[in-house]
Structure 1
Amino acid sequence: MSRDERKPRMPTRRDCVKYGGTVVGAGLFAGCTSNEGDDSNGTTSGSTESSQSASSDSTTTDESYTVSMSPMGEVEFDEVPETIFTRLTHLAGMAFALGRGNDVNALHAPDYYNDLWNQFTPRLPDVSLDWSGRYSSWNPDPEQLYELDSDVHLADPASVLALDGWNQSDVDEIRNNISPWFGNHFSNRHLSPPDAYAGEYEYYTLWEQFEKVARVFQAEDRYDALASIREDVLATIEADLPPESERPTVVMGGFSTPTEPYVYNVDTPGFLTAHVRPLDPVDAFGDDVSSGAQIDMETLIEADPDAIIVFGGMHPDTDMETVRTELENDPVGQKLTAVQNDRIYAQGARYQGPILNLFQLEMTAKQLYPDTFGEWPAYVDGAYPELPADEQFFDRKRVADIIRGEF
């Protein structure tokens, strides 16, 4: 069905959501008034989870509240969202961290990331996650968004506008007729958004964005508890970080074709390096190779990194033994310092949420500085290694309790 042929639909209560302080339309608002009594008991348990008073950009009037983030500005919610649309897994991972992972109805490559995330969940007691079979939303169809009828779209409207087949009226229509957008994509590498959003676009760290998402779900207490754990992890790293002269040169990338990898700079600003930048390694390429470029073995040997980080290496479909063997058998690859010293390490995802960020800070510290933080186990496949308690950077049970809301 084309967009011009859509059947008229009765407005739902969330059609009354005000966005940026403006009611979405007098006629639509009038159609909602008859539903006002339907939600007299409609608040969810999430709406009572916060142990904090609202901050300056999260205010409450009766049951409604607003949360502010660029590029959306102030977004008002009349109740805590239940069904959650996402595009990218850093936002799906935030829902997971807040105990709402199974309420996500869409994400990019859902079966792939379901399998990858579930390499970490076995270390979190009584925590489960199932994203299999969800709608794959890399370039979502507006009609499918109507079908999903989500309570919130955890996605950046500026990044959606940049997709093929989308224009500003489409973005506005979804916001006005279904539910708000709430996300910030271009903080990933501090890239420039489309011109329509360029003027006042702000960048956030992974955890700054997570704090705002927690306010959307009125779950600031879970954010505070997890943020405290992260601060302890960072303090552990900072207390024993070796001097600059002892830090390794590093290449990280995707090695699905081991001799022609896609590589990413370790010191790029943005949340994609949230697990690496605190460890302050030396980027093996410097300014010679742009982040996201595909390179050959000659380029890699010129950089000759001390360590290689393989994104997606922990996914069940990735054969790390094959990655290592192909590099060892390549006439150029076998000369790499990282290959000769067995320093080719599997990791998870670049678009990590808060929970993966905790695990990946721990694993990266051990991979890059084994003499300081303890050696990372030789990983071939399976779940995240079960480290001895005295070698863990954070308490798994505590994190699991927070996710479940039992803390």
Structure 2
Amino acid sequence: MSRDDCGREAPTRRDYMKYGSAVIGSGALAGCTGIFASDDDSGSTDTSTAPSTATDTESETAAGEDSYSVTMAPMGEVTFDSIPEQWVPYGGDYADMGVALGHADSMTGIGQAGEYYTYVYDELPGVSVDKGRLAENDLVEAGMSKELFYQMDNDVHIIDTGMLRNWFDWSDDDIAEISEKVAPFLGNMIFRRSDSWHDYRFYTLYEAFEKVAELFQERERYEAFKAYHDEFIAEIQSRMPPSGERPNVLLTYEGTDEPETFSPYRLTDKGTSKKQWNDLGVADALAGTGIENLSTGNRSELDYENLLEVDPDVLLIRGHEQKSPSEFRDTVLAYMKDHPVGSELTAVQNSRVYRGGYLRQGPIHNFFLTERAAKQLYPDVFGDVTSDRELFDRQRIADIINGDI
């Protein structure tokens, strides 16, 4: 939709929504003024391009007394008159946040349904998602088609618009069209921090989770989750070995059972996909090497000779989350043990090659992944990763999700 079309569209059922005076970074249309704002790390208002005071007053009056706003970079302030009844996230991180807040049933789809790992919910009584519905409305499988956005007819899209522009070639007009004719965007890519186009504020896992809690007006559930998370992490950290006795770790990606090359991840990147490793105090085996983190612009890979130069204590390989620990050992590790160069790696010789965790993890995922990582890194303290030993209370998590706080 062109800017000249503004003001001539028939009202939709989402007329309740209005943007705040700043719409940032995404190139989305600010209200119906035809003005595009620029990126802003803080999400603050650019008053030089904001609509007039009279327009603001009229919008606030139309929004009603029960309206509320959520402010998150890059979109800035988005105001709602009611809690969204239907929503869609791009990835498993935000999907998991919605489930944690008790809004699984209203999630209509997702990007890359196959990379949203829902099997952890099987351990939580009364917690589930409609996997069939999500698979039917896979945004990536549909090529991020605008038609699918119209069909789903959501009340909010929890998708960083920077991803739409840089990964899927959406234009500013595409974003503006869906924002106005369907529903607004809210969200921030949080799983890594290595993309040059992401030049606005990043959020930690729980900072982003708090924004989603504001969106769904679920402060009590969020606070309960955060309290238990902080308790859980403190307990784990109190039992960890001294820093000098902790292994160094190389985190990579390679999704095949017979790996030959590996994409590097840097633990110093601080993205949420590395949260458990940073909480568990391990050293990045790539420190001082000059090897960059995987990103939109960096698709470099390491071969076994490169790995041997680093020779980490522990090698973590992503891309195998559908495997059990035993299945991973019988395929990937077994292949590496027979490899003429891979077999020389210390981590391979000591059988310290493990699954590397999800790329996009939410707060529920993080409990499970931290438990797994603690066993991978410190088996003498927390038990072997193949054991059934539990380090957190599943029922307590389920109770929070189900509203029994």
Correspondence for 2:304 among 297, 309, 317: 297
Distance of 2:221 and 2:190 partners within structure 1? 25
Paired position in structure 1 for 2:45? none
Paired position in structure 2 for 1:105? 108
Kept in 2, the 8 Å contact 1:367–1:375? The answer is: yes
3-state SS in 2 of match to 1:276 = helix
Paired position in structure 1 for 2:165? 161
3-state SS in 2 of match to 1:192 = coil
357-366 vs 161-170, which deviates more? 161-170
Paired position in structure 1 for 2:192? 188
3-state SS in 2 of match to 1:398 = helix
Kept in 1, the 8 Å contact 2:248–2:282? The answer is: yes
Structure 2: which amino acid aligns with 1:282?
A
- 1:164 Cα deviation after fit: 3.6
Structure 2: which amino acid aligns with 1:360?
L
Structure 2: which amino acid aligns with 1:101?
A
Whether 1:393 and 2:395 are equivalent positions in the alignment is no
Q: Which 5+ residue runs of structure 2 have no aligned equivalent?
A: 1-7, 23-29, 34-62, 295-299
Paired position in structure 1 for 2:44? none
Distance of 1:210 and 1:94 partners within structure 2? 6
3-state SS in 1 of match to 2:361 = coil
Paired position in structure 2 for 1:309? 316
Correspondence for 2:91 among 88, 91, 94: 88
Paired position in structure 1 for 2:373? 364
TM-score, normalised to structure 2, is: 0.80
Correspondence for 2:333 among 321, 324, 336: 324
The residue correspondences of 1:138-149 to structure 2 (distance < 5 A) are: 138=140, 139-149=143-153
Kept in 2, the 8 Å contact 1:68–1:74? The answer is: yes
Kept in 2, the 8 Å contact 1:190–1:203? The answer is: no
- 1:218 Cα deviation after fit: 0.6
Paired position in structure 1 for 2:278? 277
Kept in 1, the 8 Å contact 2:252–2:356? The answer is: no
Distance of 1:140 and 1:102 partners within structure 2? 22
| Cα distance change, pair 285–301 in 1 and its aligned pair in 2 (3 A) | same
* Alignment length (residue pairs): 353
3-state SS in 2 of match to 1:338 = helix
- 1:328 Cα deviation after fit: 0.7
| Cα distance change, pair 225–317 in 1 and its aligned pair in 2 (3 A) | closer
172-181 vs 250-259, which deviates more? 250-259
394-403 vs 139-148, which deviates more? 139-148
- 1:356 Cα deviation after fit: 0.6
Paired position in structure 2 for 1:251? 250
- 1:190 Cα deviation after fit: 5.4
Whether 1:336 and 2:345 are equivalent positions in the alignment is yes
| Cα distance change, pair 186–97 in 1 and its aligned pair in 2 (3 A) | closer
Paired position in structure 1 for 2:70? 67
Kept in 2, the 8 Å contact 1:307–1:338? The answer is: yes
| Cα distance change, pair 130–309 in 1 and its aligned pair in 2 (3 A) | farther
| Cα distance change, pair 163–15 in 1 and its aligned pair in 2 (3 A) | farther
Q: Which 5+ residue runs of structure 1 have no aligned equivalent?
A: 1-7, 27-59, 378-384
Distance of 1:255 and 1:25 partners within structure 2? 46
Distance of 1:113 and 1:213 partners within structure 2? 20
